[in-house]
């Protein structure tokens, strides 16, 4: 079995694959300062929940945008499974030309998402990943990563609003019935959700004007389903897109 680990700023997502089938997946908080030993206990506990032993994991791959967490997880994986994990980074075989001015600047999650999406669409596409930051990644019809955009994530935007506006209460990010809020909670939810939908649709439309070929828009990440339900530009949602990309990338190394 293959273990894939996607380390994000807010959450770490782990998936266990049997060939191309995702058998188990877990989402936990990314806690900076967690030690190698803590990760080791953490990994074996998740395997026990899945009814597996360390001997069942034959290989692993990690994509991380949090450098402080990468090395402790890599060392924990080696101790748990007795092999060196593949780490997504410079020098890895992606099978996708990176047309960024400095390819090393592109986050591992962005490349992994682009690879998984192109494997599915086989055409021009935009991937919208709703995380701590919301990323828009563009892939040409020839399968080239051409760049994109980065915006503050909806949860990050909400936390900034709660922290800086003394009279506004902290509230759940949820879709209100109407855009015109008749109380403060609904007004905030309207601004956060419908305002963010407008950001996403406006950004996608602007990106499309610079891509002279048909484009499919895929969404992934924590708030993907919430925003996609109101979006006019998102074609489909795949919550496991990044995990699939890590699996595909691992196969390409072999």
Residues 195, 139: Cα–Cα separation, whole Å: 26
Could you tell me if 64 and 73 are in contact, meaning their C-beta atoms sit under 8 angstroms apart? yes
Q: Which residues lie below 8 Å from residue 167, measured CB to CB, with a gap of 6+?
A: none
Which residues, other chains included, contact 25 with Cβ-Cβ below 8 Å and sequence gap of 6+? 13, 14, 15, 16, 240, 243
Find residue 253's DSSP bridge partners. none
- Determine phi and psi for 231, rounding to 5 degrees: -75, 145
Active-site entry in 6, 109, 137, 244: 109
Verify whether residue 109 is a known catalytic residue.
Answer: yes
Phi, psi (degrees; rounded to nearest 5) at 25: -150, 150
- Residue 172's nearest CA partner among 190, 195, 196 is 190
Q: Catalogue the active-site residues.
A: 109
């Amino acid at each position: 079995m293959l273990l894939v680990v996607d380390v994000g700023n807010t959450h770490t997502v782990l998936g266990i694959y049997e060939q191309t089938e995702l058998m188990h997946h877990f989402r936990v908080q990314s806690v900076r300062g967690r030690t190698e030993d803590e990760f080791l206990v953490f990994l074996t506990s998740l395997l026990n929940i899945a009814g597996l032993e360390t001997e069942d994991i034959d290989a692993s791959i990690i994509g991380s945008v949090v450098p402080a967490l990468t090395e402790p997880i890599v060392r924990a994986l080696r101790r748990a499974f007795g092999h060196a994990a593949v780490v997504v980074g410079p020098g890895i075989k992606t099978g996708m030309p990176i047309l960024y001015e400095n390819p090393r600047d592109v986050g591992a999650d962005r490349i992994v998402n682009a690879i998984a999406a192109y494997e599915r669409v086989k055409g021009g596409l935009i991937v919208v990943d709703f995380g701590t930051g919301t990323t828009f990644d563009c892939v040409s019809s020839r399968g080239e990563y051409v760049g994109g955009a980065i915006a503050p994530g909806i949860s990050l935007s909400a936390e900034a609003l709660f922290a800086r506006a003394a009279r506004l209460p902290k509230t759940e990010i949820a879709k209100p019935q109407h855009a015109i809020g008749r109380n403060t909670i609904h007004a905030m939810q309207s601004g956060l959700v419908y305002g963010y939908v407008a950001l996403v649709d406006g950004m996608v439309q602007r990106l499309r004007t610079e891509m002279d070929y048909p484009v499919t828009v895929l969404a992934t990440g924590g708030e993907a389903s919430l925003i996609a339900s109101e979006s006019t530009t998102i074609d489909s949602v795949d919550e496991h897109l990044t995990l699939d990309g890590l699996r595909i990338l691992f196969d390409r190394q072999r």
